[in-house]
């Protein structure tokens, strides 16, 4: 059986499972569509939350970023997991106790303002659309390789699938679909990691293999990787090279952005009791850790395997002991079929610049190594000849690079799609709820019937899928980079207003509105100044480089500054205006009081 046929069978079976679950769990009411009728068990919700959380950025892109940057990109792991603890401890239980369907609904009721609710809707839409673009990018990358279609065609196929099961099932269908998707993605991520760890280090656990000894030598794996990449002119893998200030701000932006993500928050609205929200958070952290503790090993081992492919002596630490891979090898060797496969997608490419028939992989900007300098002089090299290696392909290509069985490759393909689709569905549900429940019912047509609201929710989700797909055709970066921008926007807008709404009785509607606007506008202006994408159609006002950034703060890190602006403006404006009504202050106190929390009912 060909690899394509095997991929088609496994991916097709997973899609049939998702659609079958959506039909079985079809939402018949707004309560089921928005919150699964608040009947999901903590363990089930924890697994669904983990799938919702571990997006294409986690499954596909995070290990790729770690593969090419190393230690510095551990910020993704620290920020995302640390932020989830903030969410679980500081926000989720209290928001569940409040008993609403959506985040903007909480903002509107807590700050006794329809305007605040509408601004919450706008912030949610900006965050969620930016985030879902990253997921659709991941869908396109996965489809383009494994179903041998273009990225754009793959993106439209993924959009059609999400449309079927998300629009049909709502939160009820999405919850049980996400449980299935979690099982698929964790198996898909773990199996190849175990195989590759055994191949390279003899360790069954990738986590311990990362710190083990290479089978082909008596040196530590990470020490050899460091030696190999520095020999080739790249920066050390385990060293810290970026600005410490930017690293701290970026980690913080991911943390507080995580705690402000609407599509994750609404998962805690699906459990019967507030106590179950806390239990769900605990289970979700366990399920998330199963992937996140493996990701550094996957990233580093995929980088090692790629380097060893290009310089066959690298596996023993003797980088230049054998010639680099030749064009003839790439075309004829079975163990290099993965290069041919990925070249078709345009995500991997090479060019024989000096015409010697070899493809040399090195960093010409850092070629200070004597051996590398000698090779450059001897062979008349004219620059790195592995011209394109997209970060997003590393996890997906890793099983092929390591020559693992075809069924493993097919499972990884299904896992990548499960990760992207599970999060996309959660985001689209958040968007749908904001439009139908907060905008249409909350502001435009308060008297709309439940049937009309359910229809509006499904239509708005369909439109959101279309918009996200169109924008996903030209994303502003890799999947994880695009997602990082969404976290910055959530950090600067939603997180501060939720924190102040729960823990400050003095915070009033004027402060909340001014803070949200100041935070999100400042962050958007900063991002688009350097990224240019969306409003200015790819033309940035300033170069997106560390030298041009304000105080060396990258666009993805500015969410922390935006959050500080939000808090500061909200505090100053609230202090200068009258305090909230007594009933609102009593409401805030009641949210935080544990008395009766276990039996809090939905409104």
> CB within 8 A of 166, min separation 6: which ones?
22, 173, 174, 424, 425, 428, 429, 461, 465
Buried b (16+ CB within 10 A) or exposed e, 116-154: bbbbbbbbbbbbbbbbbbbbbbbbbbbbbbbbbbebeeb
Both tokens of 69, joined, read 């940057």
- How is residue 445 annotated by DSSP? -
Owner of token pair 């290099």: 336
Q: What is the pLDDT of residue 533?
A: 54
Task: Name the nearest CA neighbour of 398 among 342, 333, 329.
Answer: 342
CATH 1.20.1730.10 range(s) for the chain read 8-301+400-599
Task: Name the nearest CA neighbour of 214 among 315, 131, 283.
Answer: 315
Determine contact, residues 287/88, Cβ cutoff 8 Å: no
pTM: 0.83
Determine contact, residues 16/419, Cβ cutoff 8 Å: no
Largest CA distance in the chain: 81
Q: What is the pLDDT of residue 561?
A: 96
Determine contact, residues 290/59, Cβ cutoff 8 Å: no
Q: What is the pLDDT of residue 537?
A: 46
**Each residue of 287-343: pLDDT tens digit?**
998 999 999 999 999 999 998 888 888 777 777 777 788 999 999 998 898 899 888
Domain 8-301+400-599 classification at class level: mainly alpha
Q: What is the pLDDT of residue 603?
A: 42
Residues of the chain with pLDDT under 70: 367-368, 475-484, 532-541, 593-603
Both tokens of 342, joined, read 């990925």
Which spans in 54-202 are helix H? 56, 62-69, 75-86, 92-98, 103-110, 114-146, 151-201
């Amino acid at each position: 059986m060909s690899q394509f046929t095997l991929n088609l069978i496994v991916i097709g079976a997973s899609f049939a499972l998702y659609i079958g679950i959506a039909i079985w769990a079809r939402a018949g009411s707004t309560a089921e569509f928005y919150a699964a009728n608040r009947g999901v068990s903590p363990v089930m919700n924890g697994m669904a939350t983990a799938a919702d959380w571990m997006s294409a950025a986690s499954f596909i892109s995070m290990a790729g970023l770690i593969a090419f940057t190393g230690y510095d990109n551990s910020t993704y792991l620290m920020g995302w997991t640390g932020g989830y603890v903030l969410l679980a401890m500081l926000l989720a239980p209290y928001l569940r106790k409040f008993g609403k369907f959506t985040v903007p609904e909480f903002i509107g009721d807590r700050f006794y303002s329809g305007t605040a609710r509408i601004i919450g809707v706008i912030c949610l839409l900006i965050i969620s659309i930016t985030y879902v673009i990253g997921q659709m990018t991941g869908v396109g990358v996965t489809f383009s390789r494994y179903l041998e279609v273009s990225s754009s065609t793959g993106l439209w196929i993924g959009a059609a699938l999400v449309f079927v099961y998300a629009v049909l099932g709502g939160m009820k269908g999405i919850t049980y679909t996400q449980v299935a998707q979690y099982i698929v993605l964790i198996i898909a991520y773990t199996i190849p990691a175990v195989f590759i760890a055994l191949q390279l280090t003899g360790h069954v656990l990738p986590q311990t293999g990362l710190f083990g000894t290479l089978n082909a030598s008596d040196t530590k794996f990470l020490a050899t990787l460091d030696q190999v990449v520095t020999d080739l002119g790249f920066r050390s893998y385990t060293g810290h090279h970026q600005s410490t200030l930017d690293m701290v701000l970026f980690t913080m932006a991911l943390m507080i952005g995580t705690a402000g993500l609407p599509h994750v928050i609404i998962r805690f609205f699906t459990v019967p009791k507030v106590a179950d929200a806390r239990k769900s958070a605990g289970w979700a952290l366990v399920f998330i850790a199963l992937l996140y503790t493996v990701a550094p090993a996957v990233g580093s081992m995929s980088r090692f395997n790629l380097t060893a492919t290009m310089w066959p002596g690298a596996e023993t630490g003797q980088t230049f002991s054998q010639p680099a891979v030749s064009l003839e090898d790439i075309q004829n060797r079975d163990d290099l079929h993965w290069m041919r496969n990925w070249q078709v997608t345009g995500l991997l490419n090479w060019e024989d610049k000096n015409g010697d028939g070899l493809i040399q992989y090195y960093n010409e900007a850092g070629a200070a190594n004597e051996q590398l300098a000698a090779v450059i002089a001897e062979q008349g090299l004219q620059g790195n000849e592995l011209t394109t290696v997209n970060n997003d392909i590393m996890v997906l290509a890793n099983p092929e690079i390591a020559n693992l069985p075809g069924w493993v490759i097919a499972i990884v393909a299904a896992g990548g799609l499960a990760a992207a689709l599970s999060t996309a569905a959660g985001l689209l549900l958040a968007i749908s709820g904001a439009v139908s429940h907060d905008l249409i019912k909350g502001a435009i047509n308060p008297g709309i019937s439940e049937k009309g609201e359910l229809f509006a929710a499904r239509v708005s989700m369909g439109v959101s899928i279309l918009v996200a797909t169109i924008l996903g055709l030209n994303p502003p970066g890799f999947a994880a980079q695009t997602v990082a921008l969404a976290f910055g926007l959530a950090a600067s807008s939603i997180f501060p207003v939720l924190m102040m709404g729960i823990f400050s009785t003095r915070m009033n509607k004027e402060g909340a509105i001014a803070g949200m606007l100041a935070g999100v506008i400042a962050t958007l202006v900063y991002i688009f100044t350097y990224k240019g994408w969306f409003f200015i159609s790819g033309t940035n006002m300033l170069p997106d480089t560390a030298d041009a950034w304000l105080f060396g703060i990258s666009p993805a890190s500015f969410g922390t500054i935006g959050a500080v602006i939000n808090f500061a403006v909200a505090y100053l404006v609230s202090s200068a205006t009258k305090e909230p009504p007594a009933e609102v202050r009593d409401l805030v106190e009641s949210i935080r009081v544990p008395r009766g929390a276990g039996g809090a009912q939905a409104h």
